Amino acid sequence: MTEPARIAFRVTEGAGPTIVFLPGYASDMSGTKALALEAWAKAHGRSFVRFDYRGCGESEGSFEDFTLADWLEDALLVIDQAAKGPVVLVGSSMGGWLALLAARERPDRVTALVGIAPAPDFTDWGFSQADKMALLNDGRLEKPSPYSDQPTVTTRAFWSSGEARRLMHGTIPLKLPVRIVQGMRDADVPWERAVRLAQLIEGEDVQCWLVKDGDHRLSRDPDIAMMVRAVEEVSAA
């Protein structure tokens, strides 16, 4: 029997609530935002966890073997076993989608959420009809990546897993503080989707902060400062 792939994670001990960072698609816990948030947590004595999904970064496994459902399992495992007490989820891009799903699965643990260019349901709106047909017919799709010299690979299994977990077809039953930080020059996630997401979340303490000159990365110093401010706000709510 094959041993399950293990997840790599880093814990910063400190005062709660525990802040858990969820990376984007094909990203990892060594990105600018994750490390900046960890540095802030260490400087302020805050509890923080960053981790890699299976098949990504330092975690075991092959990237193409895993799906959105698998990475949701990874996020829930980190919440259950690596984080202590109440949890604030900070999700970047796909990580924002996973944060919404995880908050729905762990309402007794997750007390607030911050989405950085969150991309729920991107298997629906992020692919052309030709892309979807290629995925169905060929089982995988390769596209040039603006963030890496390696192409971005999407598998049919991942796409199908995402389609089965779409959220934006109606009210999202979350009643917790939420901050969404979204660039208006984001070439990957249209800013209008962030506004629509804010509308669909059931709770009232939901704010969408638009950065007019912000791109998808939102990794400049002012963007990082805005992310930290959002975490501070929802942590104190």
Residue 106 DSSP symbol: -
Annotated catalytic residue within 52, 74, 121, 186: 186
Domain ranges of the chain: 9-122+173-236
Strand partners, 211: 183
User: 186 catalytic, yes or no?
Assistant: yes
Which regions of the chain does DSSP assign to beta strands (E)?
A: 9-12, 15-22, 46-51, 87-92, 110-116, 140-143, 152-155, 178-183, 206-211
Q: Choose the weakest-confidence range: 148-152, 181-185, 204-208.
A: 148-152
Which of 79-93, 141-155, 215-229 is predicted least confidently?
Answer: 141-155
Q: Which of 27, 216, 223, 235 is catalytic?
A: 216
Q: Does domain 9-122+173-236 have CATH number 3.40.50.1820?
A: yes
What's the mean per-residue pLDDT of the chain?
Answer: 96
Give the H or E element holding residue 153.
strand 152-155
Question: Can you give the pTM of this predicted structure?
Answer: 0.96
Q: Is 44 a catalytic residue?
A: no
How do residues 62-110 score in pLDDT, each as one tens digit?
A: 999 999 999 999 999 999 999 999 999 999 999 999 999 999 999 999 9
Is 27 a catalytic site residue? Answer: no
Catalytic residue among 93, 121, 161, 235: 93
Q: Residue 16 above 90 pLDDT?
A: no
